[in-house]
Amino acid sequence: MRRSKDAPPGIVAAAEQDFAEFRDRVSLARESARILLEQDVPELDVFAELYRMLTREASPQHAAALAAAAIVRLAQSQQPARRMSSEPGS
């Protein structure tokens, strides 16, 4: 995986340490949202619940990490042939 030259070392270290946990939490939240949407819960209500969850995080950094993991997952879903370098077999 190519890293940004401008990323502070602390951010890179935190990402390497925490990415798997946040990726798993995003997967769980995504599955919960999918179930709610399948039950015809309005999209705005699902968004509000996810927003509430993010605002209850221990710190803004944790919320940002969850959002970053979600964005990476979303980008991956748009390109199914690509895998993260952190996944087995990459």
Summarised one tens digit per residue, pLDDT across range 27-69 is 998 999 999 999 999 999 999 998 898 888 878 888 888 888 8
Position 6 confidence tier, pLDDT thresholds 50, 70, 90: confident
* φ, ψ (nearest 5 deg) of residue 9: -55, -35
* φ, ψ (nearest 5 deg) of residue 83: -125, 155
Cα separations in angstroms, 48 against 14, 53, 65, 80: 28, 9, 19, 28
For the record, the structure tokens of 31 come out as: 């599955």
pTM: predicted TM-score of the whole model, two decimal places: 0.66
Cα–Cα distance measured from residue 73 to residue 86, given in angstroms and rounded to the nearest whole number: 13
